[in-house]
Structure 1
Amino acid sequence: MKVQTIANTNIMELVEVNKEQVVTDSRKVAEVFGKEHKNVLTAIRDILVAENQATKFFYETEHEYRGQKFPMYLMNRDGFSLLVMGFTGSKAMQWKIKFIEAFNAMEKQLRERNASSYMIADPIERALKWAEEQKAHRQQVALLEEKTAQQSQIIGELKPKADYPDNILKNKGLVPITAIAKDYGMSGAAMNELLHELKVIYKMGRQWLLYSKYQAKGYTHSETIDFKHKDGRPDVAMNTKWTQKGRLFLYELLKKHDVLPVIEQTV
């Protein structure tokens, strides 16, 4: 078996980050210490049988070789220390030191990656981290603004239930914008754009929302829609539908701008 030499080894190739933890794997240990992988697996399993608490140091997974899958273990620093404790010889000691250096270096990188930019000593790394933080901050602000706008509309939609007599809102039928637009011989997208030009609605994320002056009047109702992204991830989106009261409001508003439903248009 060809043993990897210490001189030509980049210590950062000995370890990796998996689920925010620095680990190495049983194949790498077998390779550099010149042992059969099956014997390393046996040694790990003996440790797990002898000490129940060792299960938090090792994670069983698989690797693929020539189209077939074979068992393999990932291990953190403690698992590695338990495994190689009995490996002897001058070369074994040198490899143990190399692995310790690798764990230290990778753990330092992981700490700096997760640290705030002001805590990083290297000016270039600090600048890169600061830029990353600013990008994440902008994304969080945009998401918060979208959620706030949606919540504001929902609050406005609920308010009329307390402010107006029940008989005003007896008709609970909701109408999508596409149905309203059809009455005007338009597409839903075109109707939304027209209402946007008239300063009735604006788009936040994927949802059209009422401007504040039209909220709390019982014109709309937001519905939650479940959907999946192209990669299969589940997600939810908010969809604005119009109440009968909102539909009447749109009719009066559009009429003032000479936009009439098809049934009222003169030939």
Structure 2
Amino acid sequence: MNDIILSTQNGEPVASSRDVAKRFGKEHKNVMQAVANLVAENSAAKSMFHPATFENRGKKYPMYLMNRDGFSLLAMGFTGKEAVQWKLKYIAAFNAMEKQLAAQHKEQRAVQDANIQSAIDRVIEARKKLDENTAFLDECRKNREDSKAKYMQVKALCGEFKAIYGQHCDTVRTMENVVRGSQSFLTNAIDSLTIVAKGYPFYAALMDSLLDGLPAEKKEDTTCSKTD
């Protein structure tokens, strides 16, 4: 099995026509012609063979990269005792690499899932903080308007109510800045989630659920970076 050289193409193991020709004692040009005939005879075979090149003494020459199905189709025509041995070696090599790629994919998916979950948690926390600060800002604005009304109505105590009104105005301005900061934090969290999760089947539904109930203008602010 160690004699077999495989690489990857489109996420699957492939063998080169050049290496196959060498192992089975064939002329590479004859193997190339055999592949060309298979592709010409059946359009389904096109997905099994990928045109490629190799370099020899500074010049590039054509070859094919074939997946397991392409190799099996091509090797059907190879006979002899040694041919059988090489077929078995290639089958073992394909099995080993497919197992290795599956393990790598599983590990990568686990890391990806963890990154997505972490990003989701940040968006949820940012959304929660934004909602809390927005609700408090609304309350502050109501208190400001109430104090303003009292200040306008009670002239005798205008100094006292003017001071209260001023305090409420300061609180509102402070909370407006806090809400803007929370909005920015949510936008950044969504950007991070977009980087790790965009393209996954659940992405659109996930974003809809996380932004559900958000005022239209704020939702546009947080989603503008996703559509740029």
Aligned with residue 44 of structure 1, among 13, 21, 35: 35
C-alpha distance in 1, partners of 2:73/2:60?
26
For the pair 1:222 / 2:180, whether they are aligned, the reply is no
After superposition, residues 79-158 of structure 1 pair within 5 angstroms as 79-115=70-106, 138-152=114-128
Indicate the RMSD between aligned Cα atoms, in angstroms: 4.1
SS of match in other structure, 1:39: helix
Instruction: Give 2:11's aligned residue.
Output: 20
SS of match in other structure, 2:21: helix
Deviation at 1:104, TM superposition (A): 2.2
Deviation at 1:135, TM superposition (A): 5.5
Query: Greater relative contact order (Cα 8 A, min sep 6): structure 1 or 2?
Result: 2
What CA deviation, in whole Å up to 9, does each residue of 1:151-175 have, x standing for no partner? 456667987999869xx9xxxxxxx
For the pair 1:63 / 2:54, whether they are aligned, the reply is yes
Gaps of 5+ in 2: 146-173, 189-194, 196-228
Q: What percentage of aligned pairs have identical amino acids?
A: 36
On the 8 A contact 1:26/1:72 being kept in 2, the answer is: yes
C-alpha distance in 1, partners of 2:137/2:175?
16
Deviation at 1:215, TM superposition (A): 7.8
C-alpha distance in 1, partners of 2:57/2:18?
16
C-alpha distance in 2, partners of 1:70/1:214?
68
The structure with more radius of gyration: 2
Instruction: Give 1:254's aligned residue.
Output: none
What amino acid does structure 1 have at the position aligned with 2:25? G
Gaps of 5+ in 1: 1-8, 116-128, 169-212, 226-234, 236-267
What amino acid does structure 1 have at the position aligned with 2:2? N
C-alpha distance in 1, partners of 2:184/2:86?
62
Deviation at 1:219, TM superposition (A): 3.6
Q: Per the alignment, do residues 152 and 107 of structure 1 end up closer, same or farther by CA in structure 2, a change over 3 Å counting?
A: same
